Amino acid sequence: MTLAPPAASLALDVGTALVTNVERVVRGKPWAVRMAVATVLAGGHLLIEDAPGHGKTLLAKALARSIDGVFRRVQGTPDLLPTDLTGVNVFRPASGTWEFRPGPLFANVVVIDELNRATPRTQSALLEAMEERQITVDGTTYRLPEVFVVVATQNPMDHVGTFPLVEGQRDRFSVVLELGHPGSEAERGLLLGDGGAANLDSLAPVVDQAAVAAAQRAVRSVHLAPAVADYVVALGAATRRHAAVALGQSPRASLSLVQLAKAWASLAGRSFVTPDDIRTLAPHALAHRLLLNGGGDFRTAAALIGRVLGELPVPPG
């Protein structure tokens, strides 16, 4: 069973073009690139966390440049205000009226570097935008573009000048990625000029906004069998009742996981989600949403999810 033309195959075509283009500069990290593209196709948002110098911003910029649309970049700092993201009303003395000046959130791709250097108050300004594709300023609501992706980077929490992301903020991200080190061959290539930031300026868009929006709609039509839906429900129930979990998988997390799995299936050329898609993606889509209580022998939420998945019966498919 394969994707049926013409609408469904568009997701595969758009996704393949994005993966190929981003990999021209982000070398040695095919898994991260594919996961980032799947997040875009799912209509979600991406958080990249790792130590400085591992290519977080490079991946974010490459993804943004590959999508032909309005691009804005914001640097997270402790003095960043909510209105620096949403925009602000400005009084015009000549006319005696107020005029709204849109902030950088009124873009198709918004890259926020070092989000956890911004205060929780400023982080909260993103909640409405990321969930509802709109922002509200002084009681007036403004719609954001149909294609709207936040790609944020985060430094490890033990670095100086960082603030923990509020739980509601982390829950708005579809996926959290850790890039890690590239392989030796890829790192050698970077030293010799193969990929990397030096090649970013020559990276051109490969899809337009209409194609991205159509691909996102096509992803939503990917089939989810009742048995696979039951598998996701069972996973959520297992995390909620686990003795080591203080806050388990929410219904919003389940919906986000399914949408990501549909995008992953599209990238594989399939029109249906398999249990393996769920097993592959669950640690990356759910771990940042769980809160452990310190019980058990689990060092990370991803390890706990892996254990839970190993204990659940896998449906056929």
Residue 18 above 70 pLDDT?
Answer: yes
Range scoring the smallest mean pLDDT among 6-10, 103-107, 172-176, 227-231:
6-10
CATH homologous superfamily for 222-311? Magnesium chelatase subunit I, C-Terminal domain (1.10.8.80)
Portions of the chain given CATH number 1.10.8.80 = 222-311
The pLDDT, as a whole number, for residue 1 is 42
- Give the pLDDT mean for 74-93: 92
Is the pTM value of this prediction over 0.85? yes
Mention every residue, 6+ apart, whose C-beta is less than 8 A from residue 166.
120, 123, 124
Strand ranges inside the chain, DSSP E: 46-49, 67-68, 71-75, 87-92, 97-102, 109-113, 134-137, 140-143, 149-154, 175-177, 207-208, 245-247, 291-292
Class of residue 255 by CB neighbours under 10 A (exposed 0-12, middle 13-18, buried 19+): exposed
Residue with more model confidence, 100 or 187: 100
Q: What is the mean pLDDT of residues 270-299?
A: 86
CATH homologous superfamily of 7-217 equals P-loop containing nucleotide triphosphate hydrolases (3.40.50.300)
In this prediction, residues 67-71 reach a mean pLDDT of 85
State how far the Cα of 18 lies from the Cα of 63, in Å rounded to an integer: 7
Query: Is residue 247 within 8 Å of 291, Cβ to Cβ?
Result: yes
pLDDT, tens digit (0-9, with 9 covering 90-100), for 119-144 = 888 888 899 999 999 999 988 999 99
Average of per-residue pLDDT values in the chain = 86
Task: Count the neighbouring beta carbons within 10 Å of the beta carbon of residue 306.
Answer: 15
- Higher-pLDDT residue of 111, 244: 111
Residue 213: per-residue pLDDT: 93
Beta bridge partners of 102: 87
Q: Tell me the average pLDDT across 60-79.
A: 88
Instruction: Determine the average pLDDT of the residues in 157-180.
Output: 76
In the chain, which segments carry CATH 3.40.50.300?
7-217
pLDDT in tens, 192-232: 666 667 778 888 999 998 999 999 999 999 999 999 999 99
What b-and-e string marks burial along 114-149, b requiring 16 or more CB atoms within 10 Å of the CB? bbbbbbeebbebbebbbeeeebebeeeebebbebbb
**pLDDT for 146 beyond 80:** yes
CA distances from 131 to 44, 169, 223, 225 (A): 9, 10, 23, 26
Question: Poorest-confidence range of 22-31, 114-123, 169-178, 294-303?
Answer: 294-303
Rounded mean pLDDT, 227-240: 93
pLDDT above 80: residue 105: yes
Strands 245-247, 140-143: pairing is unpaired
